[in-house]
Structure 1
Amino acid sequence: MNPIYSLLSLIFWFIFFFLFLMPALRRYSLNKAREALISTLEEKRKSRVITLIHRQESVGFFGIPFIRYINIEDSEQVLRAIRLTPPDMPIDLIIHTPGGLALAATQIANALVRHKGPVRVIIPHYAMSGGTLIALAADEIIMDPNAVLGPVDPQLQGIPAASILKVLEKKELKDIEDHTLIMADVAQKAIDQMVNYVVWLLMENGMEEEKAKAIAQELATGKYTHDFPLGVDKLRELGLNVSTEVPEEVYQLMELYPQPMGAQVPSVQYIPVPYRTEKKL
């Protein structure tokens, strides 16, 4: 066999395996960096740090992106982390999520509100829908000044439950299909259940019943669209315990959950170093 051909073949296979393994090596490196930063944060805050971060991540040889939401696997892992935490140890749960399965979010919220030690939910950017429900279980919500939560009104097959009930107000009963009537019945139950659950969740953390009911009515009955952003000022106005003292390590941790880079030019770009204004003498 031609030695040059053998050398080229060896180089080709080396490059092929390197490209094939590169995504796995990159994920391993990111995981180790995340674990090191979480350990640093735990030592600083004397707490158990748990992350629930949903970003698009690229996987496989072609770096195909996929979108993640709160699911049962997430609730299993969070509940396991809580079980491994001493009852009196504080928990810091870092959330970045568009929401997800109500059952999974409810399980996480239940476990957090029953934890005897202080529970703090940290939101560097957003925690919508199920993420907001989890945040309501915390003793303290720590948000970036520009971060947002969202309403927790139930959705049925992608339709707001409150909007389904509006049909009963707009039409006479004889003009409404049986399927719509069934959906409206389920919608009313879903709203009532969510309102009662939010009230219970807030009262478990020591909130007065009337205040808890007012917050539940605001967030769970369809007053807003499901993606409406609720900022720090609005949440404080509602009576929630919200702080804006997000630890710097949390922002550093978010940098270790990069969005997948495609062939397109990035839509946001800047010089990634902190700037300081020079002091004038």
Structure 2
Amino acid sequence: MNDVLGGGSTTHLFAAQQANRYDRQSIIRAYQEATGANLIVMMDQVFSHGVTLLQELLVDCRPDKPLHVLLSTPGGDGEVAVRLVRAMQARCSELVIIIPDMAKSAGTIMCLGANRILMGPSSDLGPVDPQFPINGRLVGAKEIQQAVEDAEKRIAAAPDTFPLYATLLADVNMLMVEQARSAMDRSYSLIEEALECSGMSSSDASTLVEKLKGPLIDEAKYHGATIGPHAARDLGLPIELCDSDSQEWQLIWALWTRYFHLGVWPNGAAIVYEGAKASQVHFNTP
């Protein structure tokens, strides 16, 4: 009877209200039984509030077992990404990040700290471009820099256009521009720090950074540029392309579709931090 009620001493109404949560957690437990690993889920922008929410999921994770992390994120703060990776690596024997859809920017930094990265054919990583929240949406540091530099050139060529560009860039101030520049300069170090979190030596991490900094930072023209599993593997990342018919991937896909139905990003309706026991699901309101 406890299974029907959600696995604990709950009322029928509470169990009904939490039925979807119990359904997702039953899939998480089935995945753990099939793989022998702990499984947690993070679907959110990468900012400091997520550190505590993620730590809540790690409390019951045995450090002598692998930790699998189902991750979906548009990115955020690379500094926080490294903190999250350090926290996860401290609670496992091996860190495996699973990407059913996308892990962009700071999410890609998190992947760099994993021992293995599991991707499907349509899974996607992206350029490491620090992001800043502006008017409810994330804007890449490189995009801020490029917009300001382009405006400066156009105003220099045609001073009478100043009011136009002042209006277009009204939400960007000099402090934000300097923060964007500093964040871009720090990107190389963040990539190296994340790689070292996986246990890679400093010399090996430095060598791989030299290979990654072009595709992930310098040559990336657009924040939303795609880096699929084959391209990521060619860069030297520990990519494993999952068999879509395997039990492991079928469970992951069953779980992902339930979160997708909740309305996870890009529309940002739901923020999810969930494991077999702990569960935090928050819904953004307009």
- Place the TM-score, normalised by the shorter chain, in its bin: 0.5 to 0.7
Provide TM-score, normalisation by structure 2. Answer: 0.66
Q: Please say if 1:90 is aligned against 2:63.
A: no
Supply the distance in 2 between the matched residues of 1:70 and 1:26 (Cα, whole angstroms): 31
Residue by residue over 1:115-156, the C-alpha shift from the partner in whole angstroms, topping out at 9 and shown as x without a partner, is 451110011122222322222211000001111111121234
What is the aligned partner in structure 2 of residue 74 from structure 1? 50
- In structure 2, the CA distance between the partners of 1:29 and 1:132, relative to structure 1 (3 Å rule), is same
Work out the percentage of aligned pairs sharing the same amino acid.
22
Supply the distance in 2 between the matched residues of 1:238 and 1:137 (Cα, whole angstroms): 15
Q: Please say if 1:38 is aligned against 2:14.
A: no
**Equivalent residue in structure 2 for 1:233, among 220, 230, 241:** 230
What is the aligned partner in structure 2 of residue 199 from structure 1? 192
* Paired AA for residue 255 in structure 1: T
* Paired AA for residue 65 in structure 2: M
After TM superposition, give the deviation of residue 185 of structure 1 in Å: 3.6
Matches within 5 A, 1:162-241: 162-166=142-146, 183-205=176-198, 206=200, 207-221=204-218, 223-241=220-238
What is the aligned partner in structure 2 of residue 244 from structure 1? 241
**Equivalent residue in structure 1 for 2:140, among 160, 175, 180:** 160
* Paired AA for residue 182 in structure 2: K
Structure 1 unaligned runs (5+)?
A: 1-22, 55-68, 262-281
The count of aligned residue pairs is 224
Please say if residues 161 and 222 of structure 1, whose CA atoms lie closer than 8 Å, have aligned partners that are also in contact.
no
Supply the distance in 2 between the matched residues of 1:221 and 1:24 (Cα, whole angstroms): 52
Residue by residue over 1:176-230, the C-alpha shift from the partner in whole angstroms, topping out at 9 and shown as x without a partner, is 99x8765554333111212201112113321442112321343234623111121
Q: Which has the higher contact order (CA 8 A, sep 6+)?
A: 2
RMSD: 3.3
- In structure 2, the CA distance between the partners of 1:30 and 1:170, relative to structure 1 (3 Å rule), is closer
Structure 2 unaligned runs (5+)?
A: 1-12, 157-161, 167-171, 264-286
Residue by residue over 1:80-103, the C-alpha shift from the partner in whole angstroms, topping out at 9 and shown as x without a partner, is 333432222100001123234555
Which range moved further: 137-146 or 91-100?
A: 91-100
Structure of larger gyration radius: 1
Supply the distance in 1 between the matched residues of 2:63 and 2:197 (Cα, whole angstroms): 16
Please say if residues 126 and 147 of structure 1, whose CA atoms lie closer than 8 Å, have aligned partners that are also in contact.
yes
Runs of 4+ aligned residues of structure 1 deviating over 6 Å after TM superposition are none
What is the aligned partner in structure 1 of residue 18 from structure 2? 28
Please say if residues 162 and 221 of structure 1, whose CA atoms lie closer than 8 Å, have aligned partners that are also in contact.
no
Supply the distance in 1 between the matched residues of 2:16 and 2:79 (Cα, whole angstroms): 33
Give the SS at the match of 2:39. Answer: strand
Give the SS at the match of 2:258. Answer: coil
